Amino acid sequence: MHVAQISFFVDPERRAPERLLHDWFTLVDTAAAAASAVGRVTVVQASMVPGTIVQSGVTFHFLAPDSAGTPLPRSGAFRTLLRDLKADVFHVHGLGFGREVRELHELAPGTPILLQDHADPVPRIWRRNRWRRGATAARGASFCAHAQAEPFRRARLLPPDIEIFEIPELTSSFAPGDSAAARAAMGLHGDPAILWVGHLNANKDPLAVLAGVSAAAQDLPNLQLWCCYATAPLLAAVEARIARDTALRARVHLLGRVPHERVEQLMRAADLFVLGSHREGGSSALVEAMATGLTPVVTDIPSSRALTGHGAVGELWPCGDWRALGTALQRNASARGAAARARVRAHFDAELSSSALGQKLAAAYTRLVERPALASANRVAS
């Protein structure tokens, strides 16, 4: 089977293809995972800087639209490439490219299309008709958790007969390592050492996490919290919360932006991973933490339930409930050591690894190829 994974999102920074693959490593990981199970995967990426790169056994084509504002499917280069690829399945990243998906279907009406959610919000009412027309051209849609499809169903944005697949949004190449060596290399300490990786914004809810850490510190006097983040609109509020709480002042370390390879070392060094998100498509930081065997203590949202096997590893706590977080941190403070990490890594291997993701994608592709095309053809025609 030959699968074409297509991304219509154009990098606003106009990075060169080599740099883009380095920075968007999940694009490479997902393609390589699928290739391990189906045999051949080609990636077509919209880009203002054209080029072709072969990496991890996958060919990446970077194509520019013929002119600004023109959808990629209308470009001559895209049409020529599509004709040459003769793909069996189109896997489109993102749900919000209705016009492009519709035109993709018109270019190859017999080829099934799988749409993959990447934390796409339900569109504003005035954008829904275009979005809906694109969805009618697809035979399937994948979400990290089945529950994430429900808002789109309620808004009648997904056809009633579209196939919904529960597939992780990504995988990770991170791996367990020597915890003591990682602590020494990163200068990390704490008993337990808790790691946060995420933006300091309202959705990630760092203030609830800080309140929970403060509560847990009453029974865990050696607790330390280490925070990695990129954007930080709530940084001033976070700093003020730390400054006025004696339980946090000597325990919270704001590391800021950390290179990706150093995040792996921090995850090997830490004892617990904490996340306060109210909404996630499928947290890359959570997947990476479990890849290193780090025990997660994360919010009880659909994607985290799916990724942790409904709390089969780690613990889930209600969004915003800092008291519940404090209790969960105390309860999981002893969830460390080789046995605990092996349990988490075993779950990752079975459900989230490159091999596992590849098998889940392959099953979805096969299902869509074998499913009769009549239903989607009738939807588009109407």
Strand arrangement of the beta sheet that strand 295-299 belongs to? 252-256, 224-228, 193-197, 272-275, 295-299, 315-317
For residue 332, what are the CA distances in angstroms to 210, 247, 336?
17, 19, 8
For 47-87, strand residue ranges (E) read 51-55, 58-63
Radius of gyration of the chain (CA): 22
Cβ 317 vs Cβ 136: under 8 Å: no
Report residue 67's pLDDT band, with 50, 70 and 90 as the boundaries: confident
User: Would you say residue 29 has pLDDT above 50?
Assistant: yes
- Mean pLDDT, range 355-363, rounded to an integer: 98
Task: Report percent pLDDT > 70 for the chain.
Answer: 97
Poorest-pLDDT segment among 23-32, 198-207, 245-254, 370-379: 370-379
- 371 contact partners, CB below 8 Å, separation of at least 6: 112, 139, 163
Cβ 300 vs Cβ 279: under 8 Å: no
pLDDT of residue 130: 86
Alpha carbons 331 and 321: distance in angstroms, whole number: 15
User: Would you say residue 69 has pLDDT above 80?
Assistant: no
User: Would you say residue 372 has pLDDT above 90?
Assistant: no
Cβ 277 vs Cβ 205: under 8 Å: yes
Poorest-pLDDT segment among 9-13, 172-176, 334-338: 334-338
DSSP letter for each residue of 212-269: HHHHHTTT-TB-EEEEE-S--TTHHHHHHHHHT-HHHHTTEEEEES--HHHHHHHHHH
Q: For tokens 């099953």, what's the residue?
A: 363
Instruction: Look up the pTM and report it.
Output: 0.92
Cβ 294 vs Cβ 266: under 8 Å: no
User: Would you say residue 380 has pLDDT above 60?
Assistant: no
Cβ 193 vs Cβ 224: under 8 Å: yes
Report residue 335's pLDDT band, with 50, 70 and 90 as the boundaries: confident
pLDDT of residue 378: 54
Name the 3-class secondary structure at 375.
Answer: helix
- For residues 156 and 375, which has the higher predicted lDDT (pLDDT)? 156
Alpha carbons 335 and 330: distance in angstroms, whole number: 10
- 203 contact partners, CB below 8 Å, separation of at least 6: 277, 278, 279
Alpha carbons 172 and 180: distance in angstroms, whole number: 22
Structural domains of the chain sorted by starting position, each given as residue range(s) with its CATH number in brackets:
2-170+357-381 (3.40.50.2000), 179-352 (3.40.50.2000)
The per-residue pLDDT of the chain, averaged, comes to 93
- Mean pLDDT, range 249-259, rounded to an integer: 96
- Mean pLDDT, range 153-158, rounded to an integer: 94
For residue 246, what are the CA distances in angstroms to 94, 215, 249, 311, 337?
44, 11, 5, 32, 29
pLDDT of residue 374: 47
Q: Which of 129, 218, 171 is nearest to 356 (CA)?
A: 171
User: Would you say residue 369 has pLDDT above 60?
Assistant: yes
Alpha carbons 10 and 53: distance in angstroms, whole number: 17
- Mean pLDDT, range 206-235, rounded to an integer: 97
User: Would you say residue 71 has pLDDT above 90?
Assistant: no
pLDDT of residue 155: 93
| 325 exposure class (CB count in 10 Å sphere: 0-12, 13-18, 19+) | buried
Report residue 127's pLDDT band, with 50, 70 and 90 as the boundaries: confident
Report residue 19's pLDDT band, with 50, 70 and 90 as the boundaries: very high
Task: Report percent pLDDT > 90 for the chain.
Answer: 85
CA 171 to chain centroid: 8
> What digits encode the pLDDT tens for the residues 273-321?
999 999 998 899 999 999 999 999 999 999 999 999 999 999 999 999 9
